[in-house]
Structure formats: structure tokens, C-alpha cells
């Protein structure tokens, strides 16, 4: 039997995808403030010292896998500087982060605003297709790591995702933009963790059932890029490391949430259409489910997460608690009307049910009681919008991310 045939069989054995709100099963969400021993967290201190570490551990061991605590040796190499990028509005820098003496590298592309006060706040996120897809600028290098197809990156793709990055707008509003290709950290393939960063920690072995998969690796990469922003002198002079927002779309939105939850140096976290395994509540089983995601993408989460296939109620948490782990730092969740696979209502409900933790920590949480209408953003400490259209990052989304960042990082 071919591998494809087996995968198709496994997927067809799953229940039909539900897009009917009336068929969402009844569920009880685990209380973010109730610890495993049954005691209730009543103070910010108890959240910080007891419940937050407990929840982080549960998400690591049961879902995304534990991130190694050891660090790899790094070196930073400036590949290029163009002080006149984006028609003079930005300085473009490309910095290569070498890990373990060159065993692996990640290229970070930066647009630093020329006309804004320095150091500037920044957005950082991974991209799907290589840095050269983020803008048509011919000076942006192609990645050396493979694409998801296994093929090398191609010149034809230059600028094809510019709409998803809005570099000119971001810079004109006084923010720096940093991005790296996610395949530099771990190629997005179910290949037994033979490439990318995993072998640098596991050698010939594979991660254990409670150790990181690909999303964990990508989140780790975001933290390593943040290390660089904070410590590479020429960059640190222009980027304010205490005001860095991490963002991502879809699987990379799941990644941004996990990065923001673990690494408290990220000042603000944005999830765009992250859906199942990201902002959407797993227990709703609306659109993509845990079993579907684990079947189609077995390498994204840790081995233990497969225990919850068709068994969501056994999860010791749900995704509202992932957002709660970001508290009291601002978090923004963006949905799209036609992106039902990602369950927009489930994404809103996660944002809303993180509220109790934000309030305990003394900030406001989610201002909207009900799911806001189309393109009427909720802009509290937790932000949310749902826009018209499908699964994508649009100018509308960026405009709201910038408004939200202006509110919290200025
Ligand atoms: C698939 C997957 C989603 C994911 C998306 C993406 O649709 O099922 O979970 O978010 O790919 O990353 O584009």
C-alpha cells in the first residue's frame, strides 16, 4: 500500500468535518484558575508561581512538546545592509544566525524605519515561502533550505507574499519588521526529524513523546531571532527589544502563540487565523479537529498529543489557557469569515475565556461579551476581529495589528 493511500484511508476513517454550530458538542472548559490539585488561584502571585508554570508544563508535555532548555552556540553574520530600501523609508538588513558552528542557519530579514524615532518597536514573524517572498526587493536572498515540496526556493516567488507583510505600511507607522523562513529552523515535512534543528539536540535519535515537534522548533526559532534583536549591536541600537510583537498566520499563528506563551520577552502576541492547535477551542470540534490535524501533520505536535484524537475532553486544558499564558501581556486574535476550517467562533471564545486571568493580574481582558460583528474589532488588553474573506493575512488585518500595537506599545 502506498503511503498516500494509507494517509487517505486514515483521514477517511475520521468523522465528517462539522460546520454546523448546532452540532457543536456540549463541553465544559477547564478553569484557567483551578490548579491540578483542585485549589483555586486567587492572587497574581499564585498565578505566577504555581498555576502558570503548571499550565506551561501541561501544554509542553501534552501538546507542543518540551523545548530543550540547553542553548546552542550562535554567531551572527551580517549578510547585507541597504540603507535605502523601500524607496529610502527603511534600512534593510539581512543577518544570518549560525547555530553550532554552522551546522544550521536562519536568515533574518529586517526592515528598520529610517524616518522614525530609534529604537523602534518591532513585529517579528516567520514566513512560509522564504524571505524573498515578503517583498519584491531584488536584494533579498533566497533561502538555502528546501521548500515544503522538497524543491529549492525559486526566483519566481519573489514578492509573491508582499500583501501578507505590508512592509511599507509597517515601516511608515514607525515599526521595524523582522522575518525568517520557517524551513530554516525545521523543514515542514513528516520526515522523522532528520533535518532542521532537531538533530542538533537529539543526534540520531528522535524527540520523546513529550518533546517538541515542528511547531515547538519554529517557536524556538522565534526566540532565537529575538535574542539577536536584543544582542546584535547594530540591530539593538534600532530595535527596542522591550517592544517586540510576535505574530504569525495559520500554522505559524499556532507557533506565534506558543512562542508568546513561553517567552515573556515578547511584549505582544498576534494570532492570525491560527485555528485548531492555535487559538480555536479544541473541545468545539468545529472545522479542523485534533484527530484531523494529527493525521495530516503528525510532526507538528508532540507524540502525546495523539492521545487526544477524538478525545478532546480528556485534554487537561483548552486553548483559552494558551492565551491566558500570555497574560498580562496584550494578545490579539484575528479570524476570517470564510475560514471556517479554523473555527472563527472558537477563536473568539478562546480570547474571551482568557479574560479571568488578565483580570486577576490587574488589567482589563476582553471587552466584548459577544462575538463582535464583521470588521468591528474589540481593542482591549485582549483584542479580536473577524474580517470579510478567507484564510489569509490582508491589509485590513495589518491595519488592526498596528492599531493594537499603537495602543499597547507606544
Ligand atoms: C492546514 C491545516 C491548518 C493550518 C493551515 C496552514 O489547513 O489544517 O491547521 O493552520 O494548513 O498553516 O496554512
pLDDT band at residue 2 under the 50/70/90 scheme: low
Residue pair 158/132 in contact by the 8 Å Cβ criterion: yes
In tens, the pLDDT along 71-129 reads 999 999 999 999 999 999 999 999 999 999 999 999 999 999 999 999 999 999 999 99
Residue pair 110/177 in contact by the 8 Å Cβ criterion: yes
Active site amino acids: 250, 391
Mean of pLDDT values over 198-222: 97
- Cβ-based burial of 278 (10 A; exposed 0-12, middle 13-18, buried ≥19): buried
Ligand 1 centre distance from Cα of residue 6 (Å): 20
Q: Is residue 104 within 6 Å of ligand 1 at its C-beta? A: no
Q: Is residue 276 within 6 Å of ligand 1 at its C-beta? A: yes
133-143 residues labelled b (16+ CB within 10 A) or e (exposed): bbbebeebbbb
In tens, the pLDDT along 34-60 reads 999 999 999 999 999 999 999 999 999
Q: Is residue 285 within 6 Å of ligand 1 at its C-beta? A: no
In tens, the pLDDT along 275-309 reads 999 999 999 999 999 999 999 999 999 999 999 99
Q: Is residue 340 within 6 Å of ligand 1 at its C-beta? A: no
Q: Is residue 250 within 6 Å of ligand 1 at its C-beta? A: yes
Count other C-beta atoms under 10 Å from residue 33's C-beta.
Answer: 17
Ligand 1 centre distance from Cα of residue 107 (Å): 24
Residue pair 336/386 in contact by the 8 Å Cβ criterion: yes
All residues at 6 or more sequence positions from 165 whose CB lies less than 8 Å from its CB, including other chains? 127, 134, 135, 177, 179, 393
Ligand 1 centre distance from Cα of residue 149 (Å): 16
Residue pair 382/354 in contact by the 8 Å Cβ criterion: yes
For residue 4, pLDDT beyond 60: no
How far, CA to CA in Å, does 72 sit from each of 25, 68, 69, 75, 196? Answer: 45, 10, 10, 10, 13
Atom of ligand 1 nearest to the CA of 253: 10
**C-alpha cell belonging to residue 294:** 494529527
DSSP-assigned letters across all residues of 331-400? EEEEEETT-GGG-HHHHHHHHHHTHHHHHHTTS--B--SSPPPTT--EESSEEEEEESSSSS--HHHHHH
Q: Give the E-state strand segments of 100-195 in sequence order.
A: 104-113, 120-127, 176-181
Q: Is residue 251 within 6 Å of ligand 1 at its C-beta? A: yes
Q: Is residue 248 within 6 Å of ligand 1 at its C-beta? A: no
Ligand 1 centre distance from Cα of residue 250 (Å): 6
Helix (H) or strand (E) holding 194: none
In tens, the pLDDT along 128-171 reads 999 999 999 999 999 999 899 889 999 999 999 999 999 999 99
Residue pair 317/54 in contact by the 8 Å Cβ criterion: no
Q: Is 166 left (phi over 0), alpha (psi -120 to 50) or beta?
A: left
Ligand 1 centre distance from Cα of residue 251 (Å): 5
Atom of ligand 1 nearest to the CA of 251: 12
In tens, the pLDDT along 225-263 reads 999 999 999 999 999 999 999 999 999 999 999 999 999
Q: Is residue 164 within 6 Å of ligand 1 at its C-beta? A: no
Ligand 1 centre distance from Cα of residue 291 (Å): 13
Task: Give the pLDDT score at 1.
Answer: 46
Best residue among 341, 342, 346, 392 to mutate for probing ligand 1, ranked by most atoms within 8 Å of CB: 341
Amino acid at each position: 500500500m502506498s503511503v498516500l493511500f494509507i494517509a487517505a484511508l486514515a483521514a477517511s476513517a475520521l468523522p465528517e468535518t462539522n460546520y454546523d454550530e448546532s452540532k457543536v458538542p456540549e463541553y465544559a472548559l477547564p478553569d484557567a484558575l483551578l490548579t491540578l490539585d483542585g485549589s483555586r488561584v486567587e492572587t497574581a502571585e499564585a498565578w505566577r508561581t504555581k498555576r502558570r508554570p503548571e499550565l506551561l508544563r501541561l501544554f509542553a508535555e501534552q501538546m507542543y512538546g518540551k523545548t530543550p532548555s540547553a542553548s546552542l552556540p550562535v554567531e551572527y553574520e551580517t549578510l547585507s545592509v541597504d540603507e535605502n530600501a523601500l524607496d529610502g523609508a527603511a534600512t534593510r538588513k539581512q543577518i544570518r544566525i549560525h547555530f553550532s558552528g554552522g551546522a544550521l542557519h536562519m536568515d533574518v530579514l529586517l526592515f528598520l524605519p529610517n524616518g522614525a524615532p530609534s529604537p523602534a518597536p518591532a513585529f517579528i514573524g516567520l514566513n512560509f515561502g522564504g524571505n524573498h517572498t515578503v517583498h519584491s526587493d531584488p536584494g533579498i536572498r533566497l533561502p538555502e533550505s528546501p521548500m515544503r515540496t522538497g524543491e529549492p526556493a525559486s526566483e519566481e516567488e519573489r514578492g509573491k507574499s508582499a500583501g501578507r507583510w505590508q512592509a511599507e505600511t509597517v515601516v511608515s507607522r514607525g515599526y521595524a519588521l523582522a522575518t525568517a523562513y520557517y524551513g530554516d529552523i525545521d523543514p515542514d515535512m513528516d520526515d522523522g526529524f532528520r533535518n532542521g534543528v532537531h538533530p542538533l539536540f537529539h543526534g540520531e535519535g528522535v524527540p520523546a513523546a513529550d518533546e517538541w515537534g515542528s511547531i515547538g522548533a519554529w517557536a524556538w526559532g522565534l526566540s532565537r531571532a529575538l535574542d539577536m534583536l536584543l544582542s546584535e549591536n547594530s540591530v539593538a541600537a534600532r530595535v527596542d527589544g522591550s517592544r517586540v510583537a510576535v505574530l504569525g498566520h495559520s500554522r505559524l499563528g499556532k507557533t506565534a502563540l506558543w512562542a508568546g506563551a513561553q517567552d515573556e520577552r515578547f511584549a505582544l502576541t498576534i494570532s492570525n487565523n491560527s485555528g485548531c492547535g492555535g487559538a480555536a477551542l479544541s473541545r468545539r470540534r468545529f472545522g479542523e479537529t485534533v484527530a484531523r490535524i494529527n493525521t495530516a501533520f503528525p510532526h507538528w505536535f508532540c507524540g502525546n498529543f495523539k492521545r487526544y484524537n477524538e478525545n478532546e475532553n480528556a485534554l487537561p486544558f483548552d486553548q483559552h489557557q494558551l492565551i491566558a499564558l500570555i497574560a498580562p501581556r496584550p494578545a490579539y486574535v484575528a479570524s476570517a469569515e470564510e475560514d471556517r476550517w479554523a473555527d472563527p467562533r472558537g477563536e473568539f471564545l478562546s480570547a474571551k475565556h482568557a479574560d479571568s486571568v488578565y483580570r486577576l493580574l490587574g488589567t482589563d481582558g476582553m471587552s466584548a461579551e459577544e462575538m463582535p460583528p464583521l470588521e468591528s474589532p474589540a481593542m482591549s488588553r485582549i483584542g479580536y476581529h473577524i474580517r470579510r474573506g478567507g484564510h489569509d493575512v490582508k491589509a485590513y488585518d495589518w491595519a488592526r495589528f498596528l492599531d493594537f500595537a499603537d495602543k499597547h506599545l507606544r
